[in-house]
Structure 1
Amino acid sequence: MTKRPLFHPATAAELEAYGRQLPHGILLYGKAGVGLETAAQQLAHYAHASTIRILPEYNEKVDTEKGRITIGVVRRLYELVRTKSDRPRCIIITAADTITTEAQHAFLKLLEEPTGNTTFILLCHDPQRLLPTVLSRVQQLQIRRIDRHQSEALLDSLTIKDAATRSQILFIAEGLPGRMTALASSPELLEKEAAKLRQARAMVQGSAYERLAIIQGLKDDRGAALEVVSYMIVLLRREVSSKRTATAETVRLLEQLEAAQVRLEANGNVRLTLAAAML
């Protein structure tokens, strides 16, 4: 018996509705680990469609870390859609937010001129990186996090019984079935993430000296710095929401960290950005 994919109930209903009558283009977006690839496959399943995956490339090789979807990739898409298909087909564009601006302009023509029974499914975590003209030509569907009951049930199915481990996984990845499964399956990965969470707590609660030491350790690792900042934001948001009146200092720090997150994502200097927010 095939195991059904795990989605938030509202998302599951929306996927089925779209899958029964696929639009020419649809954007699926959500947090990393929420199941974008799974959602795309589910759409294709409902439509009885074949699938073709398009992935970012770097130095002419598939690379989901450093790669981009370039004008060259889009030109290959033009050739692909010219081939006829007797059955519906879904072209799944993974990491659509890595499409270069030039490539997006070229891709617009494919969206503007529907081709037979072909559907483009774009997957991304940040829709704002796509041109407004691209966004206006696709249906948009947010893949929601699964709810707390579903998250607990997933941990049960993964046989995670230890209360501390369950608590850690839920704090780090509640509602994100892909990430929860990865953490539950790898104690090493869970410890790595837990270490970043400990750094985040120390940054929020520690002295200026402790903060400076952590910043020094993060200065050459933008990815880790962004994750620690994300954890700090979560910690502070929970603190704000748990109190009727948050302190002005907490609110100020939260605002500074949200601004720092934006600067880091825009390739701002890691050490200077963190120091400006925390010291």
Structure 2
Amino acid sequence: MIAQPTVQKQLKSIVKLSPHAVLLHGRFGVGLASAAQELALQLTNKPSIVRISPDEKGSIKIKTIRELYSFTRTKQDEKLIIILDEADTMQAPAQNALLKLLEEPPEHVMFILTAHTPQILLPTILSRVQKVEILPISNKQTDLLLDSLAVKDAKKCLQLKYMAEGLPAELTRLAQNEDYFKERSASIKEARGFIQGTTYKKLITSYKIGNDREKAMDLLRDIAHIVEISLKQKPSSSLAGLLANIVFTQEKLLADGNIRTQLLKLSVS
């Protein structure tokens, strides 16, 4: 696993202390799933690992958490590590059920949660987990990863570095999947058009993807990515305000808000 030195130090501390619950959080594409798997394997020589991921509708349901509660009460000789991928996709009922698990953790069980938007989780859950932010890798680490992926073309390297911006999982996927690279290039172009376009063009885009939550979230991530880069190059109060509005819209969509309504509000903000 490629990680910032500070992140590596934190993960080593987790392995040493072995708390009952950990939250790994970071941006989309930073490699939370890989980090969780690597951490689980380091925690014990012969771990029993259970991995819970969102269902086909994109969320972890309360039924799954209740089943997990019963499962963890079964006596086991070996340490049980439960990875909850994208824990921030749980709605309030599922989160409350998880909270009960975290409040009464069996001695042999450790939870590893991952979340790209940890602020969506209940404060009571956040207070019961040890948090580690998985940060983007450095430019030097990015160059080493590109070398390991056998990307030699200078122009392609620059494109990949701009699109992934230190996110190793995203960089790897872009480098290895040409169809995905083309898809992401088109998405970033659309996001740039949303930022620079007229209100009318923004409204058209909002109506076009107003029934697709995944595409809407992808668009918001791309817009945020471009705005963040622009802010680093030249701070601007208007861009900072746009970024705040984007984050607010993302939170509304994650909380199951109406897609088209939220995008329309962003278009005229």
Counterparts of 1:154 and 1:208 in 2: how far apart (Å)? 40
The change in CA–CA distance for 1:269 and 1:107 in structure 2 (over 3 A counts) is: closer
Counterparts of 2:216 and 2:224 in 1: how far apart (Å)? 12
* Deviation readout 1:203-256 (Å, 9 max, x if unpaired): 333455654554454334332233233323332333333236x3x655555554
State, as a whole percentage, how many aligned pairs show the same letter.
Answer: 36
Paired position in structure 2 for 1:234: 225
Q: In 2, are the aligned partners of 1:90 and 1:119 still within 8 Å (CA)?
A: yes
Q: In structure 2, give the amino acid aligned to 1:33.
A: G
Paired position in structure 2 for 1:17: 13
Counterparts of 2:66 and 2:244 in 1: how far apart (Å)? 42
Counterparts of 2:103 and 2:251 in 1: how far apart (Å)? 32
SS in 2 for 1:141: strand
SS in 1 for 2:2: coil
1:79 has 2:70 as partner: yes
Q: How does 1:114-193 map to 2 (within 5 A)?
A: 114-193=105-184
SS in 2 for 1:19: helix
1:52 has 2:49 as partner: yes
Q: CA deviation at 1:17?
A: 1.5
Paired position in structure 2 for 1:243: 234
* Deviation readout 1:66-98 (Å, 9 max, x if unpaired): 33231x222322332233333322111222123
Gaps of 5+ in 1: 58-62
Counterparts of 1:270 and 1:106 in 2: how far apart (Å)? 27
Counterparts of 1:40 and 1:255 in 2: how far apart (Å)? 29
Q: CA deviation at 1:265?
A: 4.2
Paired position in structure 2 for 1:104: 95
Q: Which piece of structure 1 moves more, 80-89 or 187-196?
A: 80-89
The change in CA–CA distance for 1:204 and 1:135 in structure 2 (over 3 A counts) is: closer
Counterparts of 1:166 and 1:139 in 2: how far apart (Å)? 36
Q: In structure 2, give the amino acid aligned to 1:165.
A: K
Q: CA RMSD in A?
A: 2.7
| TM-score normalised by L of structure 2 | 0.85
Q: In structure 2, give the amino acid aligned to 1:127.
A: P
Residues paired across the two proteins, number: 267
Paired position in structure 2 for 1:66: 58
Counterparts of 1:262 and 1:40 in 2: how far apart (Å)? 24
Counterparts of 1:103 and 1:272 in 2: how far apart (Å)? 26
* Deviation readout 1:11-68 (Å, 9 max, x if unpaired): 11111121123111111111222222222222222221513324246xxxxx255332
Counterparts of 2:259 and 2:90 in 1: how far apart (Å)? 25
Counterparts of 2:56 and 2:3 in 1: how far apart (Å)? 24
The change in CA–CA distance for 1:68 and 1:87 in structure 2 (over 3 A counts) is: closer
The change in CA–CA distance for 1:213 and 1:136 in structure 2 (over 3 A counts) is: closer
Q: In 1, are the aligned partners of 2:48 and 2:78 still within 8 Å (CA)?
A: no
